[in-house]
Amino acid sequence: MTKIKSIATALAAGTIAMSMGFAAHADSHAVDMSGKTVTWTIPFSETGGSAKWANFFAPLLSEALPGEPTVVVKFMPGAGSTKGANWFQTQKDGGGEIMFGTSGSTQFPYLLGDPRVRYEYKDWVPVMASGTGGVAYLNKEDGAKFDGSANGLKDSKFIYGAQGATSLDLVALLAWEMLGMDVEPVFGIKGRGDGRLMFERGEANIDYQTSSGYLGGSMPMVEAGDAVPMMSWGALDDDGNIVRDPTFPDMPTFKEVCEATDGCETSGAAWEAWKAFFVAGFPSQKIAFLPAGIDQSVVDTVVAGFEAVRSRSDFAEISSKRVGKYPMFVGAGAAKAAEEATTISAEAKGFVVNWLSEAYGVELK
């Protein structure tokens, strides 16, 4: 079984084992959190997909934790999310009052050895993870040229609001380069929601959002005819193949668009590197952590809270509308998700490090 194939099965198995094994323990040893405030820090701006993800889960978690503590979402953007992650690395909290949420844009600098990184994922305690997808879209003028391939877009000049070359944006930037498109990133935004705002103001003419950001912020532009969906990044089936995103089943995947575009190949070094970073960045993209050194009874209590959220009879319906139709992992499943999201092959890393140097002058060697 390949590593990619193992993701869905391993995460599911880990989650089931954790749920069955700790339910009775958590019920009898739960920590009373009455009167507490749990601060869930997100290292991006309040306009992006991670904000929508945390804001969706926060009130549900509050209801599910013993004593129904207040769960508030705090934003700490900066340095492509490494500012917030570096801060979290220094936190020591034994009562469950500090939680942190990461995304692929926090994981990728770690994977690539970005010099701004002073955090270590292995020190943190993952309690919940969820997958997501991503959608790339065009302005209406260029959208009229899109026919399922990028052949009609190769003479257009595109501007894209990006957080940074080592952020999750590299999945989009590498995909567009493989399609032969001329996309100039404007680096320095503090979250993908800020990229969407650039698109809305006409300062950018191409954008991508994770599923929650697309559903919550970009869909009105599509419905008004001001934006045209181009493709999703896709999803993985049980055999590790890229298939259509279950949240956007009528939208072609990047793989499909690549296959239809002259000069784009779904094999070889570039494809394998793109797919490896897609796998690291999306199937287990958003992860909630407690800080290092936290008491196991607190961990069990928070995991039980997230398990209760996932077990709600209405969870599938409400989550599909807010964050998309993706699996949610808790406990051991979340730990496995975090491991998969922070591991990459030497070959994929080497290709991307060289590409970032050549394309954007980013030196990580």
Supply the DSSP string of 7-25, one letter for each residue. Answer: HHHHHHHHHHHHHHHHHHH
The torsion angle over the Cα atoms of residues 362, 363, 364 and 365, rounded to 10 degrees, is: 150
* pLDDT in the model for residue 317: 95
Looking at the fold, whether 200 and 240 belong to one and the same domain comes out as: yes
* pLDDT number for residue 10: 45
Residues 261 and 181 occupy one common structural domain: yes
* pLDDT number for residue 104: 87
Residue 124 lies in a domain: yes
Q: Is residue 361 part of a domain?
A: no
DSSP string, 296-343: HHHHHHHHHHHHHHHT-TTHHHHHHHHT-S--EEETHHHHHHHHHHT-
CA distance 189 to 24: 45
The verdict on 146 and 92 lying in the same domain is no
d(CA 183, CA 206): 8
Residues 220 and 140 in one domain: yes
The answer to whether residues 121 and 342 touch, using CB atoms and an 8 Å cutoff, is yes
Q: What is the pLDDT of residues 171-181, one digit of tens each?
A: 999 999 999 99
**Cα–Cα distance, 53 to 286 (Å, whole number):** 8
Q: Are residues 59 and 158 in the same domain?
A: no
**Contacts for 87-92: CB closer than 8 Å, 24+ residues apart:** 87/41, 88/41, 88/43, 88/119, 88/124, 88/289, 88/291, 89/118, 89/119, 89/120, 89/123, 91/291, 92/291, 92/292, 92/293
Residue 284: what pLDDT? 80
From 11, 39, 33, 10, select the one nearest 304 (Cα to Cα). Answer: 33
What per-residue confidence (pLDDT) applies to 349? 96
Residues in the chain with pLDDT values less than 50: 1-28
Q: In the prediction, which pLDDT does 232 show?
A: 98
Domain boundary among 279, 312, 330: 279
Rounded to 5 degrees, what are φ and ψ at 92? -130, 110
Distance of alpha carbon 326 from alpha carbon 233, whole angstroms: 14
- The answer to whether position 158 is within a domain reads yes
In a domain, 303, yes or no: yes
Do 332 and 218 lie in a common domain? Answer: no
Asked if residue 116 and residue 34 are part of one domain, the reply reads yes
Contact between residue 102 and residue 85 where contact means Cβ atoms under 8 Å apart: yes
Which residues are CB-neighbours of 113 under 8 A, at least 6 positions away?
353, 364
| Interval 247-272: pLDDT, tens | 999 999 999 999 999 999 999 999 99
Tally the domains of the chain.
2
Does the residue 62 lie in any domain? yes
Burial 81-101 (b: 16+ CB within 10 A, else e): bbebbbbbbebebeebbbbbb
39 forms beta bridges with: 72, 98
Indicate whether 109 and 212 sit together in one domain: no
Q: Give the pLDDT score at 126.
A: 97
Residue 347: per-residue pLDDT = 95
Which amino acid belongs to residue 1? M
In angstroms, the CA 300 to CA 26 distance is: 6
Q: b/e per residue, 31-50, with b = 16+ CB within 10 A?
A: bebeebebebbbbbbbbbbb
In a domain, 169, yes or no: yes
Q: What angle do CA 258, 256, 146 make, to 5 degrees?
A: 70
Provide the CATH number for the domain around residue 265. 3.40.190.10
133 touches 229 (CB < 8 A): no
291 Ramachandran zone, left/alpha/beta (phi>0; psi -120 to 50): beta
Please give the pLDDT value at position 283: 84
Domain CATH number, residue 290:
3.40.190.150
Same domain, 82 and 158: no
CB 268 within 8 A of CB 288: no
Domain that holds residue 334: 3-131+281-346
State the pairing for strand pair 182-187/157-162: parallel
On whether residue 360 sits in a domain, the answer given is no
Q: Are residues 118 and 159 in the same domain?
A: no
pTM for the predicted model, two decimal places: 0.83
